[in-house]
Structure 1
Amino acid sequence: MKITDIQVKRLRIPLKKPFKTALRTVEAVEDILITIHTDTGDIGYGEAPPTAVITGDTREGIEGAILGHIKPRLLGLPVVELETIMERLHTALVGNTSAKAAVDMALYDLFARYHQAPLFRLLGGARQTLATDLTISVNDSAEMAEDARQAVLLGYSTLKIKVGKDPQQDLKRIKALRQTLGDGVTLRLDANQGWTPREAVKLIRQMEEADLGIELVEQPVKAGDLEGLKYVTQQVETLILADESVFSPLDALRIMQERAADLINIKLMKTGGIHQALKICALAEIYGMECMMGCMLESRLSVAAAAHVAAGRNIITRCDLDGPGLCADDPWQGGPVFDHAAITMSKEAGLGIVPGPTFDQYISQPFSSFSATPQKKM
Structure 2
Amino acid sequence: MTIVKVDVFGLSLPLIEPFIVSYDQYVDMPVILVRIEMANGVFGWGEAVPDQHVTGETWHTVLQILEHELAPIVIGLNPFQIEFIHQKMNEKILGNPSAKAAIDCALYDLMGKITNQPVYQLIGGKARPYLTVPQVISIKSPNEMAEDACRIVNEGFSTIKIKVGTDAATDIERIRAVRNAIPNEIKLRVDANQGWDRISAISVIENTKDCLVDWYEQPVLATDIISLKEIRRVSHAKIMIDEGICSTHELLNVIQNRSADMVNIKLMKAGGIYPALAIASIAEAAGMPCQVGSMVESAIGTMAGAHLAISRTIIQSNELVGPLMLSRDVDSVLFKGDVLQFKELPGLGVQVDEMLVAELATYQKTIT
Tell me the TM-score normalised to structure 2 length.
Answer: 0.96
2:24 is the counterpart of 1:24:
yes
The whole-number CA distance in structure 1 between the counterparts of 2:334 and 2:220 is: 34
2:146 is the counterpart of 1:149:
no
Shift of 1:344: 2.2
2:134 is the counterpart of 1:133:
yes
SS class of match (1:332): coil
Shift of 1:81: 2.4
Per the alignment, residue 183 of structure 1 pairs with: 184
SS class of match (2:140): coil
2:296 is the counterpart of 1:297:
yes
Q: CA RMSD in A?
A: 1.6
Shift of 1:330: 2.6
Per the alignment, residue 53 of structure 1 pairs with: 53
Decide whether aligned partners of structure 1 residues 42 and 27 sit closer, same or farther in structure 2, where only a CA change above 3 A counts: same
- Contact 1:29–1:299 (CA under 8 A) maintained in structure 2: no
Percent identity among equivalent residues?
A: 36
- Contact 1:9–1:363 (CA under 8 A) maintained in structure 2: no
Shift of 1:89: 2.4
Per the alignment, residue 254 of structure 1 pairs with: 253
Q: How does 1:180-219 map to 2 (within 5 A)?
A: 180-208=181-209, 211-219=210-218
Matching residue within 329, 343, 348 for 2:345: 348
Point out where structure 1 has 5 or more consecutive residues left out of the alignment. 373-378
Q: How does 1:1-378 map to 2 (within 5 A)?
A: 1-125=1-125, 126-208=127-209, 211-333=210-332, 337-339=334-336, 341-356=338-353, 359-360=356-357, 362-369=359-366
Decide whether aligned partners of structure 1 residues 304 and 122 sit closer, same or farther in structure 2, where only a CA change above 3 A counts: same
Q: After TM superposition, what 4+ stretches of structure 1 lie above 4 angstroms from structure 2?
A: none
Shift of 1:85: 2.0
SS class of match (1:353): coil
Q: State which drifts further: 285-294 or 342-351.
A: 342-351
The whole-number CA distance in structure 1 between the counterparts of 2:191 and 2:308 is: 22
SS class of match (1:27): strand
The whole-number CA distance in structure 1 between the counterparts of 2:254 and 2:212 is: 25
Q: Deviations over 1:350-376 (max 9, x none)?
A: 101122386246531544456x6xxxx
Point out where structure 2 has 5 or more consecutive residues left out of the alignment. none
The whole-number CA distance in structure 1 between the counterparts of 2:3 and 2:170 is: 53
Shift of 1:113: 1.6
Shift of 1:86: 2.4
Aligned pair count reads 367
AA matched with 1:250: H
Decide whether aligned partners of structure 1 residues 360 and 32 sit closer, same or farther in structure 2, where only a CA change above 3 A counts: closer
The whole-number CA distance in structure 2 between the counterparts of 1:118 and 1:79 is: 15
Shift of 1:123: 1.3
- Contact 2:50–2:268 (CA under 8 A) maintained in structure 1: no
The whole-number CA distance in structure 2 between the counterparts of 1:357 and 1:112 is: 20
Shift of 1:184: 2.3
AA matched with 2:330: P
The whole-number CA distance in structure 1 between the counterparts of 2:303 and 2:359 is: 18
AA matched with 1:63: L
Q: Deviations over 1:279-307 (max 9, x none)?
A: 01110111111001101021111011000
Q: Deviations over 1:298-357 (max 9, x none)?
A: 111101100000011111001111111111123315xx6334521122321110112238
Shift of 1:90: 2.6
AA matched with 1:201: I
The whole-number CA distance in structure 1 between the counterparts of 2:321 and 2:101 is: 18
- Contact 1:8–1:35 (CA under 8 A) maintained in structure 2: yes
Q: Deviations over 1:149-180 (max 9, x none)?
A: 11111111111100110110011111111111
- Contact 1:15–1:327 (CA under 8 A) maintained in structure 2: yes
